[in-house]
Structure formats: C-alpha cells, structure tokens
Chains A and B, each alone.
Chain A
Amino acid sequence: MNDRNSYFPRKLHSLLGVIPLGLFIVEHMLTNFSAYEGGPEGFKDSVAFLNGLPLVFFLELFGIWLPLLFHGVYGLYVAYQSNLNTGRFQYGRNWAFTMQRITGVVTFIFVVWHLYQTRYQVMVGNVTHEELGGVMHDVANSPFYLVLYIIGVIAATFHFSNGMWAFLVSWGITIGPRAQRISSYIWMGVFVICSVMFLMSLFAFRGDEFKEAASAALAWANLV
C-alpha cells in the first residue's frame, strides 16, 4: 500500500459524520426542542439528564470533541480540494455538492463560536449548566446574533441531511439512480424538519420565561 493514502482518513471522515456527529445533531435538536415543549424547566431537565449520563466526560471527549475536531479539520481540507463549477454545470446535485462544502465551512465556524459562547463558558465557570437557557435567551433576543444563529443552524442541518445522502452513496448503500433519487427526497425532508425544529427552539428561547436566568449570564455575555 501507498504510504500516503487518502482512502482511510476520507472514509473515517465520512463515518464520523454519521456516527457520532449525525446522532449528536439529532440529540441536540431534541434537547433544544424541550425548550419549546417544556419551557425553562423542560430545557433544564434535558440538560441535567445529559450531564447525569455515566462517564459524561468520556462521552463528550470521544462522542463529540475528537470526532468534531477530525471531521471539521479534515473537512476543511476536503473543501479546499474541490473546484466549484456550478457556473458551468447548473445541475441540482452539483449545487448540493457546492452547498455541502460551503455549509461545511459555515458550520465549522458557527460551531466553534457556539461552543465558545456556551460550553466553553461553562468550562471556565462563567455560567452554570442551569443558566444556559438564559444565555440562549440573550443570544436569541439580539437581532445580530439571531440572524447568525439562523444561518448557522440552517447550514448545519443542510450539511447533516445532504451528508447523510452522500454517506449512503459513498458506502455503497444507495447504488442505482432510483435509490439515490428517493434517498434525496427523504433527506431533503429531514432537512426541512430539522431546520424547523431547531428554529422553533431558537425562537422559544426568546420568551420572557427564560429571562430570570438571563441576568446571571449577562455579565459575561457583554464580553462575547
């Protein structure tokens, strides 16, 4: 075998996008949705449930941090290796190919920023897990942040849905044109459902009931 082999890292990149990152984005969507369904209490309970999982440090390390780092950094390299030629070939799948790379870069930036605003602030002790609802209340009530979050969320859900379509092709599960077409309908449906659920949660955080926790988070939010 060749010393420099791009097959395995590319295959790992593809797998990590589904397990665990695909599973994680679905979990994140459901946790957020508890803010829409159950208000501050529901959201607090969901966050508490996640933090109560056994070996939560290792779950986070191997289930989120390391896969995210590899998928993100290698993904930037994959995007760098591609030409964007939608000017000459304006086919739907070519647009999806182009958007997959653009949304990948947007999502990478968004995730880094979002982690800094939330998980990093918890880590350094500026806010507690219980106050995260308040942090999001501040974010969702700032028009500037809200627009950036809407862009980031839609980019992430597109990258996930279209990435799932590509995963099924790259691992030889959907082979023929008919299977790939039906798969594209399903994943575009998933894209719409995920986007709507994330946005409903985001707008739920704007409600006044999240305000009480907001004052505590206000101190550091000015720094961001």
Chain B
Amino acid sequence: MAETTTAQKSVKFIIERQDAPDKPSYTEEFEIPYRPNMNVIGALMEIQRNPKKSDGSSTAPVCWESNCLEEVCGACSMVINGKPRQACSALIDQLQQPIRLQPMRTFPVVRDLVINRERMFNALKKVKAWIPIDGTYDLGPGPRMAETKRQWAYELSKCMTCGVCLESCPNVNDRNSFIGPAAISQVRLFNAHPTGEMNQEERLDALMTDGGIEGCGNSQNCVRSCPKGIPLTTSIAAINKDTTKHMFKKWLGI
C-alpha cells in the first residue's frame, strides 16, 4: 500500500515508583514511541528524555541503574511483568503489554527501580568468597585444577550477584535470615579451587551459623530464575553434603 504516513506504534508501561526509601510506592503509566529492537533500558531512556505520563502530564524521570547493557553486570535487575530479570536483555518485542516494571522488593528500595543489594556483598564477605594468597614471602604456584572440574566451576563463576535468585526465593524475606542461593554457590566455587580448598572449613563454618544454608527450603525457584543458568540447586545440595560431613567430623573430633 502506498501510505506515506503510518500510525505511530507505541509501547505502554506501568511503572511502580517510590520517591525515597521511606516513602509510599505508587504507579504511573507511560506510553512511548516504539522503535525496532528496543529493550526496557531503551524505553527507560526515552522516558528520561521526555518524562511525560500517558495522560500528557509531566513527572519526574524514572530512576534505574544499569551498566554493561549485555547481561553480565546485574545492575539493571528489576521485576518485569512479574519476573525478576535484567532490563537490558528484556526485549520489548518479546514482552506482553502493558509492560509492568517494579523494583526487586526483597532489597531495600532506594528510589523507583533502584535497589540496594548490599546484603549480597555482605553475604560474600561472611562466607569468605575469595582465595587468600597473600603472604610475607613468595608462596609459589598453587596446585593445578583438573580440566573437568574447571569446566563446571566456570559455570559457577558466571554469577554476577544480580539478586534475581534472592528475589525469587520464598525464604529470603524480613522474617528469615537466609543468606540466599548466590553466596552458597560461591562457596562451592571457591571450595572447588585447589588453593581455595585449603580454607574450605572456614566457608562451611560460615554457612553453618544463623541464616546459613539450612534456610533453603528447596522451592528451587532460584535455578529456574537465574539469568546465567547457574546450577544453584546442585550447588546447594553439594554444600549440604559438605556441611553435613563437616558437622559430623567436628562432633567426632576428626
């Protein structure tokens, strides 16, 4: 058809907003022009450029966090149409409209879609998710890692601490001190490392304190939600085995 003007396609958004951590939340609707291959971040940038609600009235631009734009940093995690995921890899063409954006409320909301994921960093510190190699002299090269082990350990190293597994977990909430799936999988990663293995008991001990691994209730939402496909429930079960063995060894004094 020889039409020179076509109806402008648009994308509808319903965004849950909050002005400050202690302020009540409210929703606002937006309608922005469609562009091919658009993602949710692109749509949020459009709202930032022209912060008008769908009824035409002005509002403050929506706040969000993003960084890498290729689903490796985890900064733009939010709840999109009910599921926690990264906004950068959420393509408009694949989403049902109106698109609902909410902050991941498992974490304290800073403003709009911006959340504070500090508890995940604290969890990594609690389980000592690193390999201590510093010494007063050259410790020399560490033991080598078997290639077969490296292959599955690499999958665990893809964790970007995005918080999606904690958001999907029914046992991560304000009545429960559960550390969450991500840190447990990191314990498995660092305990698998030939040098990290030398401190494995410290990490297991950390998971056997309040809010540790026993908080897992096996709902297995984490493994279904993880954007990097990390076998979180396998990690949890493997560390269940290690902590159980560690517990009996400590009781028996061996």
Q: Which residues of A are in contact with B by a Cβ distance under 8 Å? A: 1-2, 4-7, 10-11, 78, 80-85, 88-89, 91, 93-94, 96-98, 100, 165-166, 169-177, 180
Contact = CB atoms under 8 A, between A and B. Distances in A.
Interface of B: 82-83, 168, 170-171, 173, 175-177, 205, 208-221, 224-225, 231, 233-234, 236-245, 247
Contacts, number: 112
Nearest to B214: A10
Given A2-B210, A7-B209, A84-B170, A172 B244 contact: yes
A5 B211 CA distance: 8
A98 B218 CA distance: 10
Given A82-B171, A83-B171, A97-B218, A171 B241 contact: yes
Given A81-B175, A175-B241, A180 B233 contact: yes
5 contacts: A10-B214, A93-B218, A97-B170, A170-B240, A172-B245
Contacts of B233: 169, 177, 180
Contacts of B210: 2, 4-7
A9 to B, nearest CB: 9
A83 B233 CA distance: 19
A6 B171 contact: no
Contacts of B208: 5, 7
Given A2-B210, A83-B170, A88-B82, A94 B220 contact: yes
Nearest to A174: B237
Given A5-B209, A174-B237, 18 more contacts: A1-B205, A6-B212, A7-B208, A7-B210, A7-B243, A10-B215, A11-B244, A81-B176, A81-B215, A83-B170, A89-B168, A89-B219, A166-B217, A171-B244, A172-B240, A172-B242, A180-B233, A180-B237
Given A89-B224, A177-B233, A6 B218 contact: no
Contacts of A97: 170, 217-220
